[in-house]
């Protein structure tokens, strides 16, 4: 999963392509676990446009999307954020959530 800038995220949203952005902070223990889950999901769904960003460097994004905590997964479809996930329950949960986004 590549680190994205705000510009890369906005370009993917404006393109209308189904995409997801994983937001984390490096000192968050829950984020470390979620990162491993997202790495597995990325391997299972290679067709999904998926990026990640350290929220410490995306302060305006946190305000714009009303991010309440990390980890957070923003799922976008047709230029709009359709899902905002905070509970990374399991790999199967994330897989099903994102799979339905690309079907």
pLDDT tens profile 52-78:
999 999 999 999 999 999 999 999 988
Q: Return the CATH superfamily for domain 2-102.
A: Glutaredoxin (3.40.30.10)
Structure tokens at 94: 């994330």
Structure tokens at 69: 């905590």
Sorted by sequence, the CB contacts under 8 Å of residue 5 that are 6+ apart come out as 53
Strand-strand pairing, 49-54 and 2-3: parallel
Residue ranges of the domains in the chain? Answer: 2-102
Tens of pLDDT, residue by residue over 1-45, are: 899 999 999 999 888 888 999 999 999 999 999 999 999 999 999
Distance (Å, whole) CA 4 – CA 1: 9
- The Cα-based distances of 53 to 29, 49, 96, 103 in angstroms read 16, 14, 22, 25
In the Cβ-directed half-sphere of 2, how many Cα atoms lie within 13 Å?
10
Structure-token match 């996930």, residue found: 85
């Amino acid at each position: 999963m590549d680190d994205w800038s705000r510009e890369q995220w906005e370009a993917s949203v404006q393109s209308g392509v189904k995409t997801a952005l994983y937001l984390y902070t490096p000192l968050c223990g829950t984020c470390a676990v979620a990162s491993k889950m997202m790495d597995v999901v990325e391997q299972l769904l290679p067709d999904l446009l998926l990026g990640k960003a350290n929220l410490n460097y995306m302060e305006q994004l946190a305000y714009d999307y009303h991010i309440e905590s990390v980890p957070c997964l923003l799922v976008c479809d047709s230029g709009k954020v359709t899902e905002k996930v905070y509970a990374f329950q399991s790999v199967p949960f994330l897989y099903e959530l994102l799979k339905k986004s690309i079907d």
